[in-house]
Amino acid sequence: MKTLDDLLAEGVAGRRVLVRADLNVPFQKNDPGVIADDGRIRAVLPTVKALRDAGASVIVMSHLGRPKGAPDPKYTLAPVAQRFGELLEGEIHFATDTVGPDATEKVAALGGGQVLLLENLRFNAGETSKDDAERGAFADQLAAFAEAYVDDAFGAVHRKHASVFDVPARLPHFAGGLVLREVEVLARLTESPERPYAVVLGGAKVSDKLAVIEALLPKVDRLLVGGGMCFTFLKAQGHEIGKSLLEEDMLDTCRDLLARGGDKIVLPTDVVAATGFSADADHDVVPADAIPADRLGLDIGPDSVAAFAGALADAHTVFWNGPMGVFELAPFAAGTRGVAEAIMKVDGLTVVGGGDSAAAVRALGLDEDAFGHISTGGGASLEYLEGKRLPGIAALES
């Protein structure tokens, strides 16, 4: 796999370089135009700066959200372009289309040391098409903009999309520093983790994490389960979970996992149960096996935090994916904060598996440098740990 350093060694002054970034940032719910977490923009800055400072004409492309293959103002990258420019500490040009007349004109006018961001890739149906010809036609248009391609969008490498899979087949292609770091760290988790090796999983659904649980259960020393998914496990043990989130069709699967995992699997012993899904709902800490019928669990309780911290205390490798509760609501953030702080104290490799976990670290004001690595790709991280061959990585290796 050739790297950004290889490209820079070749010389990029006066050359147009297409950079696939992952700028799929979250926006504030009460103000859709304001970015809630700019971590993914910051993550790609070193690559863009290196190319810009070496004299390349840098064309950045990304998706945002899930538009239906056509322009949708709700998913424009315009606010991202503004923030990108602020963080880049330099002007960033913005094309109001992806491969249309505005993009074509601005690419042609782009000088060395300048940066252009194209509009949302998913405004074109060819980006996500399952039809090879349609995807390939879009890739042809993108590839025509540049003389080299750099993928620094680890959060998208698990997608067989035009900008990730097809464009690198049409241009000399290189892996950015972010992608290289992600692969290096995740390989350590799968190939030779230093033990004890603990995995902390949260989030809403068991079904979303089933493949990674199946892949990791034989390899880990401890598997700590929190978040909404813990209630299906608790129900599988025969406990009352009230109105808590439940995947009825996953109960047998959870029983099987519990039987196979034995003492490896650690579940909450207490939870914060509320009368409703809101910050001002009445709530109390209750035993995990006695949640009132009229309440729903929205966080793990203090005893659970202490137990999880104890299970992590001697670990030398930790992978964490998924919050322990509804951390966006202050009364239900303590579980995620407590477990995150326990992970920060681990003497060894600690990896935050992207997605909501990375967002929680920043939203709770935790020190990002206290973790060994914070991934930019939740889904990509999980699929890598499941042992899947990721299309974007395969494309870079070819």
Whether 65 has a binding-site annotation, put simply, is yes
Q: Is 14 a catalytic residue?
A: no
pLDDT above 90 (res 236): yes
The predicted structure's pLDDT at residue 367: 95
Q: Is 226 a catalytic residue?
A: no
Residues 358-367 pLDDT 10s: 889 988 999 9
Pick the catalytic residue: 15, 16, 20, 40? 40
| Cα distance between residue 127 and residue 144, in whole Å | 15
Residues 275-298 pLDDT 10s: 999 999 999 999 999 999 999 999
Where b means 16+ CB within 10 Å and e means fewer, 181-210 reads: bbbebbebbeeebeebbbbbbbbbebebbb
Q: Is 222 a catalytic residue?
A: no
Query: H-helix or E-strand containing 131?
Result: none
The pLDDT of 254-264, averaged and rounded, is 96
Pick the catalytic residue: 203, 355, 378, 392? 355
The pLDDT of 139-145, averaged and rounded, is 98
Domain 4-181, CATH class in plain words: alpha beta
Whether 22 has a binding-site annotation, put simply, is yes
Fold for the domain defined by 193-386: Rossmann fold (3.40.50)
The predicted structure's pLDDT at residue 37: 85
pLDDT above 80 (res 354): no
The predicted structure's pLDDT at residue 28: 87
In the chain, residues under CATH classification 3.40.50.1260 are: 4-181, 193-386
pTM (predicted TM-score):
0.89
Spatial contact of 235 and 241, defined as CB atoms under 8 Å apart:
yes
The pLDDT of 87-100, averaged and rounded, is 96
pLDDT above 80 (res 271): yes
Whether 159 has a binding-site annotation, put simply, is yes
The pLDDT of 256-285, averaged and rounded, is 97
The predicted structure's pLDDT at residue 54: 98
Q: Is 379 a catalytic residue?
A: yes
Burial class (CB in 10 A: 0-12, 13-18, 19+), 281: middle
DSSP-based three-state secondary structure for 56? coil
The pLDDT of 236-247, averaged and rounded, is 96
| Mean pLDDT, rounded, of the chain | 95
The predicted structure's pLDDT at residue 50: 98
pLDDT above 90 (res 355): no
